[in-house]
Amino acid sequence: MTKKHFPGFLQVHRKIIYEKSFSLGFAGFCALVAAYLVFLGVISISTGLQHTQEEGSWMPVLAGSLCILAVLWIFFRVARSLVRP
């Protein structure tokens, strides 16, 4: 049997390629957003550690740590949902 016997084969194949490319693009976008938010969390932590002599310097450290944990948790959940069929 050749492809002549399957007229919808190419359309299905194109749909699968489109879905995979969209998923990879979406994962790349999520990775960039996650990297940016992790970077902000690291800056927050370093700001809190540089000003330990001031009252309340623990707050940026706590906020940065929670931001990094939340971003990584969400990123890995989204990545796992894209990888699993």
Chain segment 18-69, per-residue pLDDT in tens: 667 777 788 788 889 999 999 999 999 999 999 999 999 999 999 999 999 9
pTM of the model: 0.70
CA 65 to CA 71: how far, in whole Å? 10
The band of 11, judged by pLDDT with boundaries at 50, 70 and 90, is low
- Distance of CA 15 to CAs 23, 50, 63, Å? 12, 52, 42
CA 47 to CA 39: how far, in whole Å? 12
Main-chain dihedrals φ then ψ at residue 79, nearest 5 degrees = -65, -40
Cβ(41)–Cβ(64) under 8 Å? yes
Q: Would you kindly state where each structural domain of the chain is located, as residue ranges?
A: 38-85
